[in-house]
Amino acid sequence: MKNSEYGPLLLRLTIGIMFLYQGIGKLMNPSGPTGMLTNLGFPIPQVFAWILLLSEIIFGLAVLVGYKVKYSVWPLVLIFLVVIGMVVLPAEQFNVVTLFFHIIVIAGLISLSLTGPGKLAIGRNFK
């Protein structure tokens, strides 16, 4: 039993729960993300809102349980890159802590893709 496999487990559980929580919150009120995407100028914001919330739920759950982590992190990385580019950086009151939070989550997701899911994962054969 390697202790080094508990690091990815902790990262996976934390990030997976975060995305799952956010996705379920959006599912309970889809008009929230639809309005946000409308204000950002997204075409067909209703469709993108559903893509966003389903991606957070599906890929967040995949990360949480450790299923195909090498691939399931990348849609979540893309979501956070879009958020940085369209929400965080252009904000009227720029918040460096918010920017660093998003960068740290992206780094954690990429780390999971590179190292694998760690202990107690459904998809232990990630290579």
Q: What is the pTM of this model?
A: 0.91
- What secondary structure does DSSP assign to 53-118, as a single string? HHHHHHHHHHHHHTSSHHHHHHHHHHHHHHHIIIIITT-SS--HHHHHHHHHHHHHHHHHHHH---
Entry field: residues in the chain:
127
Q: What is the mean pLDDT of each run of 10 residues along the chain (127 residues)?
A: 83 97 97 96 95 98 95 97 96 95 98 92 64
Report the pLDDT value the prediction gives residue 1, as an integer from 0 to 100: 55
Task: Give the residue extent of every domain in the chain.
Answer: 3-115
